[in-house]
Amino acid sequence: MNKFLITGSAGFIGSALALNLLNRGEKVVGIDNHNNYYDPKLKEARLKRHLNHPNYQHYRVDIGNREKIEEIFQLEEFDYVINLAAQAGVRYSLENPFAYIDSNLVGFFNILEFSKVYKVKHFVYASSSSIYGLNSNQPFSEHDGIAHPVSLYAATKKANELIAHSYSHLYNLPTSGLRFFTVYGPYDRPDMALQKFAKAILSGEEIQVFNFGNHKRDFTYIDDIVEGIIKVVYFPAEGSNNWNRNKPDPSSSSAPYKVYNIGNNKPVSIMSYIEELEKCFGMEAKKKFLPIQPGDVEDTYADIQNLSEQFGYKPKTSIKKGIAEFAKWYQQYY
């Protein structure tokens, strides 16, 4: 039995991951600050699924609280750390940039530093497909450069990867960054497109369709995201003997450092995404077509070759099935 720390454990991905690990017989310690970025009742509903499990311990703490975080590390003695806590949302970063610095940089650093101090076996953390920014070379590959983010959120995620590499190099701490591609499914966030669309359709209101409906997204179902995390976390990153300083590959290093895309590898147009939801509800959406929003990436498409070759990763959930599962949950929950 291993002991895992999951930060953001009342979040969409964190809670689903905690359930998976507990079902595998592992011990899980969760940290979440339960902030009010969206309705905290949804966080409580997620947490309720595993809060009383005998192998689960929960702390209501902000990862920016350095003293409290060190106390937890000292007390719990973790084998593995999975840092999912972050201020999410590209658009909100235009309104409240300080929240991204506090959580995604200061908080991230606290978890990384104490992972080093208390010698965890593997530090795994959430990155994002948003970091590809102005890069239009698709599918997005970890081997491509990511020097041009188009939002502060994306910039903080790129910074996480850079800081993690420095720690892998300096302290031989195995780190793996996971670039998630548009995660969706039951219990997802209310600020994400699927919940916004569902609410508008069922209430007869207009849905806002940005980029005039021309977006494509590599929508990835929550279970497939969790599967990818599980496949990576048990195998601490190792330095590559073939890594070439003259032609540096951004996806790896001579240090124990890796980054991986976790996506569905099948981009879907936003209009097709909406149509599947309309079918589930038996209602047609009223649509308002708008220009692309500042900070948005036009299209996303995950190259998952690295994850597939190294770990046998293969996403299993079609958009049709995934949206049907979401719609069923949404109507039951709300």
Q: Which residues are catalytic?
A: 153
Task: Give which of 181, 191, 179, 280 is closest to 222, Cα–Cα.
Answer: 181
Tokens 């049907």 sit on residue:
324
CB within 8 Å of 240: residues ≥ 6 apart: 249, 252, 253, 254
Residue 312's Cβ-count burial label (10 Å; 0-12, 13-18, 19+) is exposed
Q: Which residues pair with 4 in a beta bridge?
A: 28, 80
DSSP string for residues in 184-205 = ESTT--TTSHHHHHHHHHHHTP
Task: Give which of 128, 119, 121 is closest to 151, Cα–Cα.
Answer: 128
Residue 216 — φ and ψ, nearest 5°? -125, 140
Look up residue 101 and give its DSSP letter: I
Exposure of 128 in the CB half-sphere (CA atoms within 13 A) = 27
CA distance 111 to 80: 12
CA distance 273 to 217: 9
The continuous run of DSSP H or E covering 103 comes out as none
Three-point CA angle 291, 319, 200, nearest 5°: 50
Sign of CA dihedral 334, 296, 279, 321: negative
